Amino acid sequence: MEAIRIGLLGVGTVGAGVFQVLARNGGEIERRSGRRLQVTQVARRDTAAAKAVVGDAAGISSDPWRVVNDPNIDVVVELMGGYTLAKDLVLKAIANGKHVVTANKALLAVHGGEIFEAARRQGVVVAFEAAVAGGIPIIKTLREGMSANRVDWLAGIINGTTNFILSEMRDKGLAFDAVLAEAQRLGYAEADPTFDIEGVDAAHKLSLMSAIAFGVPVQFDQCYTEGITQLQTQDIRYAEQLGYRIKLLGITKRVESGVELRVHPTLVPSERLIANVEGPMNAVVAHGDAVGTVLSYGQGAGSEPTASAVVADLVDLSRVMDADAAHRVPVLGFQPAHLSDAAVLPMSEIVTSYYLRLRVKDEAGVLAQLTAILAESNISIDALLQREAAEVGGEDSHQTDLIVLTHDTREGLMNQALARMASLPSVLAPITRIRKENLA
């Protein structure tokens, strides 16, 4: 059979990895796919850098439009990133009848509905395994491996930068800013790390996983997003003393009133496998009614781990390109006509448990005031820890930290209770609130 001719947009870290994996494992890949996968055209603004990667094996252009408009290209692999030019190129490739493989989670999280609908009308495939969790095949797991299940919930460490930072803060007792600088030095964090540390990157990925898990549209704009910039080393230490670790999790759940979709720092019991995922690694836990709990773990970024997912999509494409579009796996796992319109719950309606840290005056009656507010709000206490005043502020300190773990309660009630507690003269600093998930 004829080779599948691939146009590569972007020959950076991942693009170079794709080319290298195809060159090194081409024979093994052809045995699996039945067809040769051949990169015939690449586009990169710096053509000399592209030449250093592909040599004479493919045509090189600084103009990506030449690739998407080339009638001899069967599949366009988009690895440029960004929302604007990438979107225009992907839509043009689809309009030209070309299949698309992309690692661009931001593009699909923001414009996925439009792109998927355009692909459906044209009868082409948009594949994006590499867009979520790098080399971990979590899209295929949710869309195909768990297709017999009603998926109840999933939770994931889906940003390696933040997981590295939290791991270092816990292991070395360093402050956030110091560890972020080290992450940038090591190449785990970008010069502008905002998308990572504010949770936006994780929210992009979670929106895609939620759509596949529950058969709902991609709803990034409805995702609650909270990053790790406000976390303090003492909270990580206190959590450890209570038997928990803090992870930035993307969490989505199916509940009676809709779908939860949220990214935030989370206390996880230290005995859970996902609590022990360290450094820049990723992991996703999903729970289905038939299979139970499934953990997927691996490298969430990097040249060849991400390239592995891109090439896997190309292999899948090689098997279905000639099939009738109606008989392919739907892009979100559910037939388009049967997507649910379940609403994303506002955070005020979320039910979870909480870790609270309150810096308070070290004097009689303070604890009674605080617990009375919680009781009046129907919030029950699971555990309470009071630090010695000397540990918090020195031998002559007249302040202390109170650590409260609660049972499940509605976030709206917790917000009201926190507002009341914060107004007390005995509360000396903003109250730290971190959500807690059992993930059982």
Show which residues are catalytic: 205
Residue type (1 letter), 119: A
Residue type (1 letter), 220: F
Query: What is the three-class DSSP state of 287?
Result: strand
Smallest Cα–Cα separation from 225: which of 359, 130, 347, 134? 347
Q: Compute the distance between CA of residue 223 and CA of residue 204 in angstroms, rounded to an integer.
A: 9
Contact 252, 259 (CB under 8 A): yes
290 CB-contact burial (10 Å; exposed 0-12 / middle 13-18 / buried 19+): exposed
Q: Compute the distance between CA of residue 355 and CA of residue 217 in angstroms, rounded to an integer.
A: 32
Query: What is the side-by-side strand order in the sheet with 37-43?
Result: 59-61, 37-43, 4-9, 75-78, 99-102, 126-127
Smallest Cα–Cα separation from 277: which of 245, 310, 242? 245
- Cα 350 from chain centroid (whole Å): 20
CA dihedral 299, 302, 304, 309 (to 10 degrees): 60
The pair of three-digit structure tokens given for residue 117, joined into one six-digit string? 């609908």
Q: Phi and psi for 63 in degrees, rounded to 5?
A: -110, 105
184 CB-contact burial (10 Å; exposed 0-12 / middle 13-18 / buried 19+): middle
How distant, in Å, are the alpha carbons of 102, 229, 251, 287, 325 from that of 214? Answer: 22, 30, 13, 12, 22
Q: Compute the distance between CA of residue 439 and CA of residue 142 in angstroms, rounded to an integer.
A: 18
Contact 126, 119 (CB under 8 A): yes
Residue type (1 letter), 246: I
The pair of three-digit structure tokens given for residue 197, joined into one six-digit string? 């540390």
Is the CA virtual torsion 130, 126, 108, 50 positive or negative? positive
Is the CA virtual torsion 19, 24, 27, 28 positive or negative? negative
